Amino acid sequence: ARAVPLAGYPNVGKSSLINSLKRSRACGVGAMPGVTRCLQAVQLDRHIRLLDCPGVVLDSGDPPAAAPLRGALAPQRLRDPLTPACAVLRRCPPQQVRGD
């Protein structure tokens, strides 16, 4: 069987895609990052094995405050939620934030 790895940022739907293709709950899913903690192989059919892995966040050189913006940290685990919130607001047009 061919192994097909699914890799990507945390909480983008890698495990959900596998569940959808398998048409069963083969992988655990959740709204918070970190549900998938290790590599998991799921046999899709005789020829294809899907490899579910934890989310991957590459070091981009951005300040640590940017990590929550990439889904690397659960919001509840942040010591300082204001810094990432301000970073999000700086990326939004003012009229979008105001609701104009």
Segments of the chain with pLDDT less than 70 = 58-67, 72, 100
Within 9-48, residue ranges assigned H as helices are: 14-22
Q: What is the pLDDT of residue 62?
A: 65
Q: In what order do the strands lie in the sheet with 2-6?
A: 2-6, 48-52, 40-43
CA distance linking residue 15 with residue 26, whole number of Å: 8
Q: What is the pLDDT of residue 66?
A: 67
Give the per-residue pLDDT at 93: 87
- Domain spans of the chain? 2-52, 65-98
For residue 92, what pLDDT is reported? Answer: 83
Which residue spans within 1-100 are E strands per DSSP? 2-6, 40-43, 48-52
Predicted TM-score (pTM) of the model is: 0.66
